[in-house]
Amino acid sequence: MLLYSLITVFTDTTLDQAIDVLDRVRRIFQVATSSYVEGGASFSAGLALNDEGSSLNDEAIEVIIKRADDKLYAAKESGKGISLG
């Protein structure tokens, strides 16, 4: 089984907008992989937002990535095709 991770940065985006984009990506991914994997491959996502007005220094970016990673693993434990924010 192949597992891939991807970090995507959305700027000027609300949590609902980011979830909408990731849900569209998930559907496209499942269709694109359906000829290789019955039902399409699984796609899970974790989302984290920077607090509005906060600066993005290296430490803040690491905290955001850690929060998103924690959400990703929570999504994976919740089932296939889940996006959590």
Task: Label residue 33 exposed, middle or buried (CB < 10 Å: 0-12, 13-18, 19+).
Answer: middle
Q: Where are the domains of the chain?
A: 15-84
Low-confidence ranges of the chain (pLDDT < 50): none
| pTM beyond cutoff 0.75 | no
The secondary structure element, H or E, covering residue 45 is strand 45-46
Query: Cα–Cα distance between 1 and 44 in angstroms, integer?
Result: 15
